[in-house]
Structure 1
């Protein structure tokens, strides 16, 4: 049985390998079609683990560090080129051909996302239905009249089928509407179809780290679960207090407890405070003192004791929903989904740059690896969907007008088209240095955020 770390690492490397290979193959394929000689096609950086020279003369390399890749083309700017081979050099090709080669990498990632979403639509994906739990008092959700077991059916007229759809739609609506007014279609527990108007400050969504619905007061509906502890984490407060799997909570500080939700309600606001828990174990009642640890969630300190509730599959059946499409419908949905997620990514980047969204939302490789492992554990449909989303992010990132990225090269080509000559080598060198500095700073910030999440 693979350890959790090994499983996560494999899921991350496989996803990254697919994304990088498709991106670099886009550059490679178009370069070959444009008559450019490709000297090396490398997946990864550093020492070569495997290499082979193909019949086409290209050296294919699999390198040790799987955090990128590159396509090395014949180019006079990098090394002397024989006069007979000048026609195969990248720098001698027309501007349109060079631009097509550079743009092909991000375009390949967009196509990968469409293919992945199409496949998910065909095989079907199981998610959590957008059923609302009891809204937190004093929040926009409570003010709008949401009650327990309301099912969200649409956001501003756009149909949603799962909690993931609802989160994305609300986040997107918040970024597009500074006034923060949303029309939420709802089917009540009694079967009535109504529309609720949700008035929010977009900052409640954009400034929240993690779940964008937390600031609105939305929480997913949960079935009634008995106050019985499932897994007890080894390094948690519960384990140190002597709590074991199967313990049933009868009371906390003398107050009777009837559900796991009531346990959560008592523990969350009690960080650093000692709670007297009355437990039933093997027919006997015992009392243990447990002190919830303080953890930061969405910028707020919350108590945690390190236990997981027991789950009843039958109780959760009501909240499960499976979404599946036919061949053509799935393709249409895939194109629309890719477009929507691309637009959402661009808007989020704009909000990050302008300070309207929390910079803590920026994620690095550690968070991506963690999500890769989580989605792979849930199911192949979620894992493929994760690859699609990261592929879109990679495409958008590479199209940013930053020197050393594909987008930076396209900016240079645009200047060349306007002025009739490429930017000077000095300008390009300064641009590369600035680009490396900017990307380095972004990577450091992303790593800082990743480490912060792990510590939380």
Structure 2
């Protein structure tokens, strides 16, 4: 049950915090510009808690924590006689510049939250791997990369840690674009290696990119200890159990979990059992396990099925060998540069989705957010702050898209009004709202569909 309650709880914490900060941006700027705020709601639906302040604003925490809103006085929504001062402070009576400032305040506050969260991350110290290559395969091997290469730059941009390097390589991989990687090899010689990402198959599933690129960081070995054994799998039927440490497969010594899959693929054959020797409670035990052929991995360059026995690795905490920590001033500069890099990468990904160069399967919805929130929270404060910064930045970018019903759509309306000297007609605005609603619902539906596919496949 905890595997459900944990993600749900951290989803509520994440969205509650970020949406409140976003809406507070609209609220505080509206107040400062003299607009009367009627309601500040975190969430939708029935109110779980409500109170009024001395200005007559109703603050609400609602039952569905998947959004929020600030409702301001608007003459178009007022019916009946209200007296000579009843419409003072109406939003639609403010100058267009003031309305634009109020509308932009939500995304701007999300951007401020992103920078503040990353500033804390870099002051507290962000664990990471050093940008040293630990293993090479596929494209990386063909491009001349060697174990022990220390990556110093990707595409001319310096890197400090493995996360920076891998994200930039993945971005180039999505574009199928060759990228020049600066390295210092094991002998201490500075070199430039061209990672030939243009050779990646066009139909390759995005989630297989890291594997097909073939670069992995230097890290501690993963013990070959079984963590999961599905009840309907061949391993469970043969008697293997969680906690068993694999010693050998078909006579081949196993020292690391990464050796397990390779050994199974080498020795498996139809109708032939594999001799798997494990250590259990200090004793050596042998099991005869007959693998079965699984489905080909989605987007694989070759469609050959893989042999599976039904075992999973025991989870181990990563052994980070680097910490990115800065003083207050340097951390602020790093937070700004990281925010800019993430913004550029996110906009680039969105652009590639629109042009069809990148798969829409990269979109994630509330299920993905909940799972990532839970995982980052379990890893500690620094990882959770990093996650919050990424989601806050995504909210800022999403809300600035020129789609009616989002803040960006409102800004587009006001921009047109400032150019033509009068607002768009109510009919045009209402039609735009319907179009925006359809687009937004379609986008959310696609993201949810991707979430479901990831969790059932």
Q: What are the superposed Cα offsets for residues 32-88 of structure 1, whole Å, 9 maximum, x if unpaired?
A: 011000000000000101001011210000001000000000001122354313230
Is 1:446 aligned with 2:447?
Answer: yes
1:229 is matched with: 225
Gaps of 5+ in 1: none
Superposed displacement of residue 130, structure 1: 2.9
Aligned-CA RMSD value: 2.7
Q: 1:171 to 1:287 in 2, by over 3 A?
A: closer
1:180 is matched with: 177
Q: 1:302 to 1:114 in 2, by over 3 A?
A: farther
* 2:212 aligned residue (212, 215, 222): 215
The TM-score, its normalising length taken from structure 2, stands at 0.89
Q: What are the superposed Cα offsets for residues 289-327 of structure 1, whole Å, 9 maximum, x if unpaired?
A: 15367477663475553321475x8xx75x521110100
Q: Is the partner of 1:105 in helix, strand or coil?
A: helix
Q: 1:202 to 1:32 in 2, by over 3 A?
A: farther
Equivalent-residue separation in structure 2 for 1:109 and 1:372 (angstroms): 17
1:90-239 equivalent positions in 2, closer than 5 A: 90-136=91-137, 139-173=138-172, 180-201=177-198, 208-210=205-207, 212-225=209-222, 228-235=224-231, 237=233, 238-239=235-236
2:34 is matched with: 35
Equivalent-residue separation in structure 1 for 2:434 and 2:428 (angstroms): 10
Equivalent-residue separation in structure 2 for 1:296 and 1:76 (angstroms): 61
- Between stretches 443-452 and 192-201, larger displacement belongs to 192-201
Gaps of 5+ in 2: none
1:428 is matched with: 429
Q: Is the partner of 1:50 in helix, strand or coil?
A: strand
Q: 1:73 to 1:236 in 2, by over 3 A?
A: farther
Partners of 2:176 and 2:199 within 8 A in 1 = yes
Q: What are the superposed Cα offsets for residues 181-222 of structure 1, whole Å, 9 maximum, x if unpaired?
A: 322122333444322122322976996423643332223344
2:53 is matched with: 54
1:376-387 equivalent positions in 2, closer than 5 A: 376-387=377-388
2:5 is matched with: 6
- Between stretches 328-337 and 162-171, larger displacement belongs to 162-171
1:335-350 equivalent positions in 2, closer than 5 A: 335-350=336-351
The TM-score, its normalising length taken from structure 1, stands at 0.89
- Between stretches 241-250 and 144-153, larger displacement belongs to 241-250
- Between stretches 208-217 and 145-154, larger displacement belongs to 208-217
Q: 1:302 to 1:51 in 2, by over 3 A?
A: farther
1:277 is matched with: 275
Equivalent-residue separation in structure 2 for 1:52 and 1:230 (angstroms): 54
Equivalent-residue separation in structure 1 for 2:260 and 2:424 (angstroms): 65
Superposed displacement of residue 240, structure 1: 4.2
2:289 is matched with: 289
Partners of 1:153 and 1:160 within 8 A in 2 = yes
Equivalent-residue separation in structure 2 for 1:357 and 1:386 (angstroms): 23
Superposed displacement of residue 256, structure 1: 4.2
Q: What are the superposed Cα offsets for residues 116-139 of structure 1, whole Å, 9 maximum, x if unpaired?
A: 000001111112233323322xx3
Equivalent-residue separation in structure 2 for 1:271 and 1:106 (angstroms): 57
Q: Is the partner of 2:452 in helix, strand or coil?
A: helix
Equivalent-residue separation in structure 1 for 2:65 and 2:6 (angstroms): 16
Q: 1:34 to 1:411 in 2, by over 3 A?
A: same
Equivalent-residue separation in structure 1 for 2:84 and 2:199 (angstroms): 60
- Between stretches 238-247 and 47-56, larger displacement belongs to 238-247
2:407 is matched with: 406
Equivalent-residue separation in structure 1 for 2:108 and 2:269 (angstroms): 49
Equivalent-residue separation in structure 2 for 1:408 and 1:129 (angstroms): 43
Q: Between Structure 1 and Structure 2, how many residues are aligned?
A: 446
Equivalent-residue separation in structure 2 for 1:162 and 1:260 (angstroms): 24
